[in-house]
Amino acid sequence: MNDLKAYLAAKQSIINQWIDAYISQKSRAGQITRAMQYSLSAGGKRVRPILCLAAAEAVGGNPNDILHVACAMELIHTYSLIHDDLPAMDDDALRRGKPTLHIQFDEATAVLAGDALLTIAFQILSDPQYLASDKNQGTLEVIHNITTAAGCIGMIDGQVLDMVSEGHKLNLNEIKTLHKKKTGALIEASVFAGALLGGASDQEMLALNEYASNIGLAFQVADDILNVIGNPTKMGKAVGTDADRDKNTFPSVMGLAESQAYARQLIEKALHAIKSFDKKSEPLRGIALYIIERNS
């Protein structure tokens, strides 16, 4: 997709404006609101909400009809980053080139701001003004899928596995399981939501689920690689931290070159899964390639 950069920028702008307006309208001015806005304005790529919108477009849906769902996905993702950065977990001082939330404010504010973002996400998803629309009859199924992906058998379980396995070598299948939960689950849920609410057929849904499964894992492989060879200035955070913490990563198990090859294989599988889709799916193809070509 030749104009992927413009596509991503346009979607990021729409998502940022929607989130900013909703947070401003639905929250009370104060420290928690400032903390939420601090993390939300840190310059995230908005990959998950954009995937949600692009999946809807790919099956002929109107992305404007599900913008609220896409934005809820970003709030869930941002909450998870805030909590991951806490001293009790990864203890990171920088996120996207800025002090992490617990550094900028304090730990209690970071915990509560993360909790607030997660809660607001479901406030959005259950908002009667959206549930009343005939175009969003699948929202309850989407909510169930998101809670499964983000909860104790999905993203949270992945984070627990990541923490308890530090210093203990996992095999490749165990690492795949860990990261399909920690990173892949929410990416898969984003694509699922867009596809379902966009009106995907059963066949299209199967194809998009396969696409999402592969790019979700590829995203983490690429992150692991960047932690080894990335540019700290472009990434906005330190590199080499995975090795310092003795974390289980794809390069630590497979080797760097093999991990790079594996990421490409995953993207090839993702692209193959949607090969029968028409030009409306070009953004999905572009995003798949972007995942392994990005430098941050």
DSSP for 1-48, written as a single string: -TTHHHHHHHHHHHHHHHHHHHHHHHS-SSHHHHHHHHHHTS----HH
Instruction: State residue 231's pLDDT score.
Output: 87
Residue 239 binned pLDDT confidence (cut-offs 50, 70, 90): confident
**163-178 residue pLDDT tens:** 999 888 999 999 999 9
Residue 43 binned pLDDT confidence (cut-offs 50, 70, 90): confident
Tokens of 55: 């999946």
Looking up tokens 């599988």 gives 269
Lowest mean pLDDT among 37-46, 156-165, 236-245: 236-245
Residue 236 confidence (pLDDT) above 80 = no
CA distance 104 to 112: 14
**Helix 202-229 / helix 172-179 crossing angle, nearest 10 deg:** 110
Residue 1 confidence (pLDDT) above 60 = no
Domain definitions of the chain by residue range: 4-293
Tokens of 253: 């198990």
CA torsion 126-127-131-136 (nearest 10°) is -80
Instruction: State residue 133's pLDDT score.
Output: 65
Instruction: State residue 235's pLDDT score.
Output: 77
Instruction: Please answer whether residues 232 and 238 qualify as being in contact, where contact means their C-beta atoms are separated by less than 8 angstroms.
Output: yes
Instruction: State residue 2's pLDDT score.
Output: 63
Any idea which architecture 4-293 has in CATH? Orthogonal Bundle (1.10)
Query: Which residues 6+ apart lie within 8 Å of 101 measured at CB?
Result: 35, 38, 39, 82, 85, 95, 109, 110, 113, 114
**84-138 residue pLDDT tens:** 999 999 899 989 889 999 999 999 999 999 999 999 999 999 998 888 765 667 8
